[in-house]
Amino acid sequence: MNNTTDYIGFDVHKKTISYCVKKMDGTLHEEGVIEATRPELRSWVERRPRQWVGAMEATLFTGWIYDELKPHACELKVAHPAMLKAIAASKKKNDRVDAEKIADLLRCDLLPESYMAPIYIRELRRMLRYRNLIVSEAVRMKNKISGLLMETGTVYNKKRLHGEGYFTELLENLEEVPPSVVSLLQFSRGALEMFQSVERQLRRQLSQDAQLRKRLELLKTIPGVGDIVGLTWILEVGEVQRFSSIANAISYCGLCSAQNSSAGKEQRGPISKQRNRHLQSVLVEAGKLAPRWNPQLKALHERELKRGSRNRATLAVARKLVAYLVSVDRSGKPFEMRMMDGEAKEAG
């Protein structure tokens, strides 16, 4: 970059976007506020007299603003919000100051950059996260149905409760149950069926997407990885090449503890909360179930279970799953099960 390039920091919000334009030597060139609408943003960017690079903090509103500005910028970056707060902490804080600090960090090449996935990945990721919301709401409806029956002292078969035939029969034979409870049970059942129908449609649409299908099928060659684990990995990670090592991928998934090292002393805390919570949740659940289908993960789980708690064993399996996912995704080749040391000796 040269002195003919402007460095622009954006502080984005729901209704407004504050911006600060600086030259390479740090001279303040321009600052102001734009209304957070597409027409206003297009009008502003078309009036830029010089080439420019920009940066903004990752927020709920960043996606559409980034997509709108990206074609007009020499380079556009998104900053990691947690790291940005640590760097830019100060007594005085407002939108104008925030935009100026982002511009300075960008100009000095100190911006803690955050990964921005391609548009099609972000669109499908939105669908997957909506599907996860639908699943959690369906579970709430199931719990509500059970709760209503327990409140009225109704005896029911827990395993069969949510089957359509059994529920209909149960509803017809309810005794000494207030009519209001019967109505609530019917409402809850209707909501549950709606949630389940939407979930099936979303999962089918995601798993059959042409851009994801080949990559998903490769990941599913790993025993213990199904549609949801594979889709969550693809859509939350985006491009696997952005991880320099398996350890970085494990850290991103939130499967390692926080580290605090000073003066030669090192302390390990609980699992770090700086993670992708969607991936962490899915991989922890997969860590509990995958040993049923993968003999190597089963052996790992049993070995770690002897050394510590069940949670430790689950995390060890989840970390190994991440290693499998990174290797298969990066190589583009199906998973191949390798013999463990004990199995190799027996074969020899």
- Pairing mode, strands 16-22 and 28-35: antiparallel
Quote the domain boundaries for residue 278: 242-341
Boundary (domain end) residue, out of 64, 97, 114: 114
253 closest CA partner among 287, 280, 271: 280
Q: What CATH number is attached to the domain comprising 81? A: 3.30.420.140
Q: What is the pLDDT, as a whole number, of residue 341?
A: 42
Whether residues 254 and 192 share a domain: the answer is: no
Q: Who's near 121: CB < 8 A, 6+ residues apart?
A: 234, 235, 238
Chain centroid offset of residue 202 CA: 17
Whether residues 251 and 309 share a domain: the answer is: yes
Q: Who's near 143: CB < 8 A, 6+ residues apart?
A: none
CA distances, 104 to each of 23, 73, 77 (Å): 10, 17, 13
Q: What is the pLDDT, as a whole number, of residue 343?
A: 46
Q: Can you tell me the distance from the alpha carbon of 161 to that of 169, in angstroms, rounded to the nearest whole number?
A: 10
The count of domains in the chain is 3
What angle (nearest 5°) sits at the alpha carbon of residue 220, between those of residues 214 and 226?
A: 120
240 closest CA partner among 226, 254, 230: 230
Residues of the chain with pLDDT under 70: 1-2, 86-91, 258-270, 339-348
Q: Who's near 5: CB < 8 A, 6+ residues apart?
A: 24, 50, 51, 52, 53, 74
Boundary (domain end) residue, out of 63, 96, 114: 114
Q: What is the pLDDT, as a whole number, of residue 103?
A: 94
Whether residues 99 and 33 share a domain: the answer is: yes
Q: What is the CA radius of gyration of the chain?
A: 26
* Structural domain contains residue 177: yes
Q: Can you tell me the distance from the alpha carbon of 318 to that of 250, in angstroms, rounded to the nearest whole number?
A: 9
Beta bridge partners of 268: 259
What number of other Cβ atoms are within 10 A of residue 15's Cβ? 9
Q: What is the pLDDT, as a whole number, of residue 198?
A: 96
pTM of the entire predicted model = 0.86
Unique residue bearing structure tokens 């609408």: 37
* Structural domain contains residue 234: no
Whether residues 107 and 147 share a domain: the answer is: no
Q: Can you tell me the distance from the alpha carbon of 149 to that of 160, in angstroms, rounded to the nearest whole number?
A: 14
Q: What is the pLDDT, as a whole number, of residue 261?
A: 55
Q: What is the pLDDT, as a whole number, of residue 264?
A: 59
Whether residues 140 and 199 share a domain: the answer is: yes
Q: DSSP code of 339?
A: P
Q: What is the pLDDT, as a whole number, of residue 271?
A: 74
* Structural domain contains residue 214: no
Q: What is the pLDDT, as a whole number, of residue 94?
A: 85
Boundary (domain end) residue, out of 86, 114, 142: 114
Q: What is the pLDDT, as a whole number, of residue 90?
A: 66
Give the pLDDT confidence of 32-83 residue by residue, as tens digits. Answer: 999 999 999 999 999 999 999 999 999 999 999 999 999 999 999 999 988 8
- Pairing mode, strands 6-12 and 52-57: parallel
* Structural domain contains residue 220: no
77 closest CA partner among 58, 61, 50: 58
Q: What is the pLDDT, as a whole number, of residue 86?
A: 66
What angle (nearest 5°) sits at the alpha carbon of residue 272, between those of residues 266 and 277?
A: 165
For the chain, where are the E strands, in sequence order?
6-12, 16-22, 28-35, 52-57, 75-79, 113-114, 257-262, 265-271
